[in-house]
Amino acid sequence: MIDRHDVMRMARLARLELSEEEIDQYQEDLMRFLRSGQKLQQVDVAEVEGTSHAVHVAHELRPDQVGTSLRQEAVLSLGPRVEQGFFRVPRIVEGQE
Amino acid sequence: MSKVSKGVLGMANYDTVIGLEIHVALLTDSKFLCSCSTAFGAPPNSQCCPVCLGLPGSLPTINEKAVECATKAGLALNCQINLFSKFDRKNYFYPDLPKAYQITQDAYPLCSRGFLDYYVDDQLVRTEITRIHMEEEAGKLIHSGSSIVSSDYSLVDYNRAGIALIEIVTAPDIHHPGQARLFVEQLRLLLSYIGVSDTKMEEGSLRVDANISLKPKDSDLLGTKVEIKNLNSFRALEKALEYEVSRQGEILDQGGTIRQESRTWDDRAGRTMSMRSKGDAPDYRLFPEPDLPPLCLEPAWVESIRASIPELPLERLGRLEEQFGLSRYEATFFVHYPDFCQIFFDLAEYDLSPKAIVNFLMGDYARLARERGHLDARRIAGLLTIVKEGLIGANQEGVVLDALFSSEKSAREIVKEQGLEALRDSTELQGVVDGVLTANPDLVARFRSGESKLLGYFVGQVMRATRGKADPEVVNKLLEEALS
């Protein structure tokens, strides 16, 4: 069961601002996901090996070699506010003793 | 909160329980999952790419050197290396995390169940390592105020974001702040021995989060723990933990309860402060990292890494004490300064006593070598050998040592060129002694009438006349004969 409260919490975690209508819509959508999941739970998987990844590939490691990075201007152009080559961000935590 | 006073009932009534999480940046040229440089000190935000910034469509690939370093650390810390491990995505919003998620290892870490043995006040103690996992480093925040809590804004540099890290997690079996410091000091030394990290705390290569709680003495129930984040010096680690012992002890004494929270250490103010983030308690919504397949290692590869591990600090300490007869103090010096230790081992190959080598290396040589770099062991051996043979007197050793640092010549060549050979030929010295006595008839008379301390003056004059080369024993003997 997913209620409106769950949807609002998920939206908050994802930093999404939802209207009242959207909350209703997502609640309904997510309930449908859940029902599909419940259907899958009925399948007997006792004999099936666990899957840790969608595709069966062995890892490929990369040699430790330095390549090219983006130019500083290109990187800084991605942020709304910069200062002396840094991104400037507002107060991070509300603290107290 | 009321002012914290130290040494209140808190200390006496409670046991302190500390567990540590140590983040160590691995010594790779490129980042963990992309090929950006890891060099320290570059202009901010100049070592970033679509992968470490998490731009859409980018795909991470694992740096093999990072896996090698992490495995080596695990083996040196007596861990089990898990041949199957995998990566997870830890989701959260924080300004130092450009992707809004961190790639880490959750349920299947690379290493588990290890330990580190180390000395606390001459007692060998063991701290269990619960796990070591690989993950990405975050960016660097520079706060406008003295701590994150007092800052109106912060500046972010993502050059560090994506550097390969290991997080070493200990069991909560550290019992006081001083022990926590000793553990981290030993861990840092071990990591530098195996060369997997530069371990520079001042550059953020090794940082500690400390979990600390108090429990009533003899109780089995753990108290509520507080996490102190981002301690980046030994001093900060010890001071922050000491502060928490007092703070928590006082709250408990007054019948209060400890709030489970993250706190930050304000070094200038000398206290920890709560850092309650806005909104909910963290919910990382971990899920399998879709962009990286599991990491599957071959046993033979793990064994090849094991074979590359050099002698570790504790083994070395034991060898210096047992094989060479060094004191704990001396052995600890050499364990902490591997460059001096290497020279000690090189010199031990020559026919010299360990005691003579140790006294030499820990004496004036240590100061000179720190200023001017080390001498070749062969040249030092030359000096110690002629001292042992008695070719030069003890007071000439310093002169030859200076000359060794400022030229390429051997000790023997220096002695010969500067005519520093010890004078112990009685006939030759007799002339000098006679000369000194003849020049000071008044003093000789005073000596003979009982001022025996004047003997030292005569010895000094003979040494001066021979530029310090005279053998003091022979001089003493000749003077006593002449004055009797």
Interface test with B, best of A16, A70, A83 (most B CBs within 10 A): A70
Per-residue model confidence as pLDDT tens digits over B104-130: 999 999 999 999 999 998 899 999 999
pLDDT at B85 > cutoff 90: yes
Per-domain residue ranges for chain B? 14-307, 313-418, 426-483
**Confidence at residue B450, expressed as pLDDT on a 0 to 100 scale:** 85
To the question of pTM greater than 0.80 for the whole model, the response is: yes
Of B29, B67, B275, the CB nearest to A66: B29
Question: Is B214 strand, coil or helix?
Answer: strand
**Kind and range of the H or E element at B116?**
strand B111-120
Per-residue model confidence as pLDDT tens digits over B428-452: 788 888 888 888 888 888 888 888 8
What percentage of residues in chain B have a pLDDT greater than 70?
Answer: 96
Q: Which of B7-16, B19-28, B353-362, B460-469 has the lowest mean pLDDT?
A: B7-16
Measured between beta carbons, the chain B residues lying within 8 angstroms of A89 are 95, 153-156
Of B49, B277, B293, the CB nearest to A57: B293
Mean pLDDT across chain B, nearest whole number?
90
Q: Are B156 and A78 inside 8 Å of each other by CB?
A: no
Q: What is the mean pLDDT of residues B269-291?
A: 80
A49 touches chain B (CB under 8 A): no
Measured between beta carbons, the chain A residues lying within 8 angstroms of B43 are 72, 85
Per-residue model confidence as pLDDT tens digits over B318-357: 999 999 999 999 999 999 999 999 999 999 999 999 999 9
Local confidence band at A53 (pLDDT 50, 70, 90 cut-offs): low
Measured at the CA of B258, the angle between CA B253 and CA B263, to 5 degrees, comes to: 125
Q: Are B36 and A95 inside 8 Å of each other by CB?
A: no
For B145, other C-beta atoms within 10 Å of its C-beta total: 14
pLDDT at B10 > cutoff 50: no
How far away is chain A from the Cα of B82, in angstroms, using its nearest Cα? Answer: 15
pLDDT at B9 > cutoff 50: no
Q: Are A59 and B292 inside 8 Å of each other by CB?
A: yes
Q: Does domain B426-483 correspond to CATH entry 1.10.10.410?
A: yes
Among chain A residues, CA nearest to B53:
A75
For B478, other C-beta atoms within 10 Å of its C-beta total: 21
Q: Are B46 and A68 inside 8 Å of each other by CB?
A: no
Please answer whether residues B240 and B2 qualify as being in contact, where contact means their C-beta atoms are separated by less than 8 angstroms.
Answer: no
Q: Are B151 and A91 inside 8 Å of each other by CB?
A: yes
Q: Are B86 and A53 inside 8 Å of each other by CB?
A: yes
Instruction: Write down the residue that tokens 């169940």 correspond to.
Output: B113
For B205, other C-beta atoms within 10 Å of its C-beta total: 23
Give all strands of the β-sheet with A86-90 in edge-to-edge order. A82-83, A86-90, B153-157, B140-143
Among chain A residues, CA nearest to B43:
A85
- Looking at this predicted complex, what is its ipTM? 0.83
Query: How far apart are alpha carbons B103 and B61 in whole angstroms?
Result: 12
Measured at the CA of B125, the angle between CA B120 and CA B128, to 5 degrees, comes to: 130
Measured between beta carbons, the chain B residues lying within 8 angstroms of A90 are 152-153
Measured between beta carbons, the chain A residues lying within 8 angstroms of B279 are 12
Per-domain residue ranges for chain A? 4-41
pLDDT at A58 > cutoff 70: no
pLDDT at A20 > cutoff 90: yes
Q: What is the mean pLDDT of residues A55-60?
A: 68
Q: What is the mean pLDDT of residues B246-273?
A: 89
Question: Is B180 strand, coil or helix?
Answer: helix
Tokens matching residue B460 = 């000094």
Mind spelling out the 3-state secondary structure of A12-73? HHCCCCCCHHHHHHHHHHHHHHHHHHHHHHCCCCCCCCCCCCCCCCCCCEECCCCCCCCCHH
A96 touches chain B (CB under 8 A): yes
Interface test with A, best of B29, B32, B34, B45 (most A CBs within 10 A): B45
Measured between beta carbons, the chain A residues lying within 8 angstroms of B288 are 52-53
B401, B369, B395: which is closest to B383 by C-alpha? B401
Please answer whether residues B137 and B7 qualify as being in contact, where contact means their C-beta atoms are separated by less than 8 angstroms.
Answer: no
**Confidence at residue B119, expressed as pLDDT on a 0 to 100 scale:** 94
Query: How far apart are alpha carbons B91 and A41 in whole angstroms?
Result: 26
Query: How far apart are alpha carbons B475 and B465 in whole angstroms?
Result: 12
pLDDT at B166 > cutoff 50: yes
How far away is chain A from the Cα of B208, in angstroms, using its nearest Cα? Answer: 20
Q: Are A97 and B94 inside 8 Å of each other by CB?
A: no
